Chain A
Amino acid sequence: DGGITQSPKYLFRKEGQNVTLSCEQNLNHDAMYWYRQDPGQGLRLIYYSQIVNDFQKGDIAEGYSVSREKKESFPLTVTSAQKNPTAFYLCASSTQPGTVHYEQYFGPGTRLTVT
């Protein structure tokens, strides 16, 4: 089955530690995205990548880093510089602009709790 996987579903870390969230897709999509969702709020874009070895900051990139070494993978690192990292993180992917119906498909999400 084609889709997007995020692991783990729940993640717990101590304050001051970096943590990396995994996102893998086998949809052969070029573009991948990371969103953050806080309780009662919509999704906010952290980083996105249109192509391998290239990525751009979204609206709330401070305290986060990403890499895109493979088309299938777009890991997100939440660094100790992120002031309030506890949130629900969603990964998404899409084909390139110009493709018919290139809407974003979402993974199941990772709930990160930092104490």
Chain B
Amino acid sequence: AQTVTQSQPEMSVQEAETVTLSCTYDTSESDYYLFWYKQPPSRQMILVIRQEAYKQQNATENRFSVNFQKAAKSFSLKISDSQLGDAAMYFCAYRSEGTSGSRLTFGEGTQLTVNP
């Protein structure tokens, strides 16, 4: 079974600064997807960024980028120019591409605080 580990329960960053959230995962599969989801106080889950395992290029979405190290099974999220609206719980998630469909396995989350 796949497992996802987020070793930082809480992180904080100053507004306009850069922060990196860590995520590691364990799998024996070669084909899979990785995601970062954001959950603000409203508790609505919002997709931040996705990474296909077969792609070597790291995904980027505006101020959000990932550092995907497949051999190390590491998938960190970098938030540049942090804004107050970035404050939220961030979840790393793994999705296998097996016949059981697109099941997601989530890490336990990192609570990000953005200080003005």
Chain B residue nearest to A45 (CB atoms) is B103
Q: Which chain B positions have C-beta within 8 A of A42? A: 4, 91, 106-109
Can you list 7 residue pairs at the A/B interface with Cβ under 8 Å?
A33-B103, A43-B106, A56-B100, A58-B103, A103-B47, A106-B44, A106-B46
Any B CB within 8 A of the CB of A109: yes
Interface residues of A (CB under 8 A from B): 31, 33, 40-45, 48, 50, 56, 58, 88, 90, 92, 94, 96-97, 101-106, 108-109
Known: A33-B103, A45-B104. 9 other contacts (CB 8 A): A33-B104, A40-B109, A42-B4, A42-B109, A43-B104, A45-B103, A58-B103, A88-B43, A108-B44
Count how many pairs of residues, one from A and one from B, have CB atoms less than 8 Å apart in the complex: 54
Closest-CB distance, B62 to chain A (whole angstroms): 17
Specify which chain B residues have a CB less than 8 angstroms from the CB of A50 in the assembled complex.
Answer: 101
Say yes or no: A97-B101 contact (C-beta < 8 A), given A43-B91, A108-B44. Answer: yes
Q: Mark B73-104, 1 if CB is under 8 A from A, else 0.
A: 00000000000000000010000010011111
In angstroms, Cα B98 to Cα A50, docked, is 13
Contacts A31-B102, A56-B100, A102-B102 given; indicate if A108 touches B43 (C-beta within 8 A).
yes
B11 at the interface (CB under 8 A from A): no
Q: Which 8 A-B pairs have the closest CB atoms?
A: A42-B106, A106-B45, A43-B106, A42-B108, A50-B101, A109-B43, A42-B109, A42-B107
What CA separation (Å) do A41 and B50 show in the bound complex?
Answer: 21
Does A41 contact B104, Cβ atoms closer than 8 Å? no
Residue of A nearest to B4 (CB): A42
* Cross-chain contact B101 with A103 (CB below 8 angstroms): no
Q: Closest approach, in angstroms, between the C-beta of A52 and any C-beta of chain B?
A: 14
Known A88-B43, A103-B50; contact A41-B101, beta-carbon cutoff 8 A: no
